[in-house]
Amino acid sequence: MTDAQVVQVALPVPMRQLFDYSCTDNQSLPVPGMRVMVPLQKRTVVGIVCGMSAQSAVPIRRLRHIIRVLDDEPLLTPQVFALAQWAARYYHHPIGEVMQAAIPSLLRRDRPAAPRVAPHWRICDAGQQALSTLPMRYHVQHHVLQVLVSAGTAGLAGEALLGLVPRSSSTVALMTDRGWIEQVTAASVSPVPLSAPPRLNSAQRDACLAIDKANGNYVPFLLDGVTGSGKTEVYLDCVAKTVSRGFQAMVLVPEISLTPQLVERFQARLGGSLAVLHSGLTPGERHRAWWRSREGSTAVVLGTRSAVFAPLPRPGLIIVDEEHDLSYKQRDRFRYSARDVAVKRAQLSGVPVVLGSATPSLESVANARSGRYRRLVLPVRAGVAQMPKVQILDLNRLAVNEGLTAPVVGAIGKRLERAEQSLVFVNRRGFAPLLGCSECGWQAQCQRCDARLTLHRGSNRLICHHCGANALPPHCCPQCAGESLYLVGEGTQRVEEALLRIFPSARVFRLDSDAAGDSQDLAQALSAVRQGEVDILVGTQMLSKGHDFAGITLVCVLAMDQGLYSIDFRGPERMFQQLAQVAGRAGRGQRPGEVLVQTEHPDNPAYARLVQHDFAGFANTALAERKAAAYPPFARFVLLRAESARSGPPLDFLRSAVRVGKARAAQAGVRLMEPVPSPMERRAGRYRAQLLLAASNEGQLHRFLDDWLARLEGLREATRVRWSVDVDPQEMY
């Protein structure tokens, strides 16, 4: 072999390193971003080329050969490639796993980059007829037919259709069988404006103008607009402008199955040039949507967290809706924040990025105050809608019956008389969160977690919400055989039952992850609410997410106090965000809204802020507290976590980690706290412990981590635990 070249490859293994390979003489050299098939021990794996070098730590003649180069051109566009490299460094996560996260799962195997032609769908005559004869309760099918009617003869790309409705593949198959819809093979559909935008109000216009003025360059915006202020209309306007100039837009949303309506609004405005990317797609659907984005045949990519790595050859704008939402942060393995990656991406690509929320994260508020982000404000609700009137109900002074106070029951009754809709927000699913014995004090506990079991009615099981373990509830106390078992607290099921008892003729619908086990049910439920087929909607935080239900005039919050006294320093922030978001579901239409919040701590200042819709005031106080405590956003946190099936090893590992890091940490201005057991030490049978690091200088922190994590990999104690690092942790357990 002459002129040996070393190819550095990122492999799908949890190691913070690249692997060196060489090419055979008749192989053409791959370039960064291409996939290669290589031998790894006794397996063959698909990796991504990250670089070339003239030398290797291993003697070059002993390097193994690349088996095959899978791509003719880089699969990862240069921008995504650079972004993934940044993310691996910033989150200190193994580069191979980061690169894998940036490509569709199908392409992590030996497969051609281009998918087979993406099908388009069109409505047939039989479908037109079905639309008028099919009973309305077939919401999903109606919906698909209606969308295809508006798409016209060109039809709609499969992914766009599939993004609209859950369990879409089976629905589409069924409708094809019946001859209602048919496949057309069009390459792509040009963006046709299908529904006219409303006339923007002056705040919306100012916001659009400011974003427009960025002129396609990197400017980070914080679009701070109260619930229902028309942020989505601002996104739509900016996206439409971006598209009309021939550029692509990326729109990130927290969860698509919860907000199918948002997809519809984009669809209606942008037509078939939308690709939807979310976890509900099959691998094939995902691959095709990804490919359309990469080819540039789709003008807009609308997706959840991982869509932040979608390739865009002509990037023009990035939008992150509900930027405060926790689901942007991946909770295991590669723990990135899609919001933060999106901002970095905008910077690398030199395009504007808009972070929108009615309750921005304190990080973003701080960035806006320091001038790093440009703040755009939508101070009032759009159209005729007003902010709802919020009233706090003191649980210490009111009688409570199955979680409900008399004012709440009265207010719901009034809505029923007026044929308006109510939303009842309960923080927990299930029937009751505690089953205990009044004679000996026994409580139903999970065997595998440090947690109590929740009683669920329908299935009649005691279920652990942390590990899913479940058991039949006992008839008598397992400890003393006494028969005085009692239930404490209310979950959604108990409240639903109580409401049905109080209002027997009301149409009560429960919405939580038990009821909406399946996203098709969820879409049907949401559409039933919108069509006024539900009087009272009972549910968990699923209800707080961005829904636009015009008919809801009352929102009742039964119990949210836990957040105030959470062990997590972000507890109050999250609680306030959730309260403000759920309150924001009231009175979004013509009629004014009312919000009733039951609490045991009515004097907590957070409630006074809520009554005044004063998120800024809340943020001021919270930021001052964070500053005094040197907490984020005024410091950088990193959490080192360890877990094992035995209780000793995690803490042993973390103590050794402190020992090998102490001296350098002090030099770098990084504080290593005491290793501690996690707040819920045992979860799913594993013992967990954590070590918090705090630093004020980001650069020094990352240099320290580079060195320290490499040392940890060599620790003897590391072999007995599973450990991981979480940069900018969002949950402190």
Q: How far apart are the first and last CA of the chain?
A: 53
Q: Identify the helix (H) or strand (E) that includes residue 173.
A: helix 168-177
Residue 231 binds ligand ADP, judged by CB under 6 A: yes
Residues in 438-457 that interact with Zn ion by CB under 5 A: 439-440, 442, 446, 448-449
Question: For 554-581, what is the HEC assignment?
Answer: EEEECCCHHHHHCCCCCHHHHHHHHHHH
Residue closer to Zn ion (CB basis): 483 or 706: 483
Quote the CA–CA distance of 325 and 339 in Å, as a whole number.
9
Q: Pick the binder of Zn ion from 197, 482, 648, 685 (CB under 5 A).
A: 482
The count of chain residues that interact with Zn ion, using the rule CB under 5 A, is 15
Stretch that binds Zn ion, among 196-204, 395-403, 465-473, 695-703 (CB under 5 A): 465-473
Q: Pick the binder of Zn ion from 29, 480, 616, 645 (CB under 5 A).
A: 480
Q: Pick the binder of ligand ADP from 155, 158, 191, 230 (CB under 6 A).
A: 230
282 binds, among ligand ADP, Zn ion, none (CB under 5 to 8 A by kind): none
272 binds, among Zn ion, ligand ADP, none (CB under 5 to 8 A by kind): none
Residues in 366-405 that interact with ligand ADP by CB under 6 A: 382-383
Q: How far is the CB of 575 from Zn ion (least distance, A)?
A: 24
Return the axis-axis angle of helices 202-213 and 231-244, rounded to nearest 10°. Answer: 40
Quote the CA–CA distance of 157 and 115 in Å, as a whole number.
14
C-alpha neighbours within 13 Å on the C-beta side of residue 330: 24
Q: How far is the CB of 477 from Zn ion (least distance, A)?
A: 3
Residues in 185-204 that interact with ligand ADP by CB under 6 A: 198-201, 204
Residue 469 binds Zn ion, judged by CB under 5 A: yes
Q: Answer for the pair 300, 319: CB distance below 8 angstroms, yes or no.
A: no
Residue 216 binds ligand ADP, judged by CB under 6 A: no
Residue 444 binds ligand ADP, judged by CB under 6 A: no
Distances in whole angstroms, Cα of residue 80 to Cα of each of 338, 345, 549: 13, 8, 37
383 binds, among Zn ion, ligand ADP, none (CB under 5 to 8 A by kind): ligand ADP
Q: How far is the CB of 482 from ligand ADP (least distance, A)?
A: 52
359 binds, among ligand ADP, Zn ion, none (CB under 5 to 8 A by kind): none
Stretch that binds ligand ADP, among 225-233, 241-249, 624-632, 724-732 (CB under 6 A): 225-233
599 binds, among Zn ion, ligand ADP, none (CB under 5 to 8 A by kind): none
Stretch that binds ligand ADP, among 20-28, 230-238, 459-467, 626-634 (CB under 6 A): 230-238
Residue closer to ligand ADP (CB basis): 227 or 577: 227
Q: Pick the binder of Zn ion from 55, 279, 282, 479 (CB under 5 A).
A: 479
CB under 8 Å to 666, separation ≥6 — which residues?
none
User: If DSSP codes are grouped into helix, strand and coil, which group holds residue 210?
Assistant: helix
Quote the CA–CA distance of 60 and 52 in Å, as a whole number.
13
Q: Indicate the pairing of strand 120-123 with strand 181-184.
A: antiparallel
Residue 464 binds Zn ion, judged by CB under 5 A: yes
User: With 0-12 CB in 10 A as exposed, 13-18 as middle and 19+ as buried, what is 468?
Assistant: exposed
Q: Answer for the pair 9, 50: CB distance below 8 angstroms, yes or no.
A: yes
Q: Identify the helix (H) or strand (E) that includes residue 156.
A: strand 156-157
Binding residues for Zn ion, per CB under 5 A? Answer: 437, 439-440, 442, 446, 448-449, 464, 466-467, 469, 477, 479-480, 482
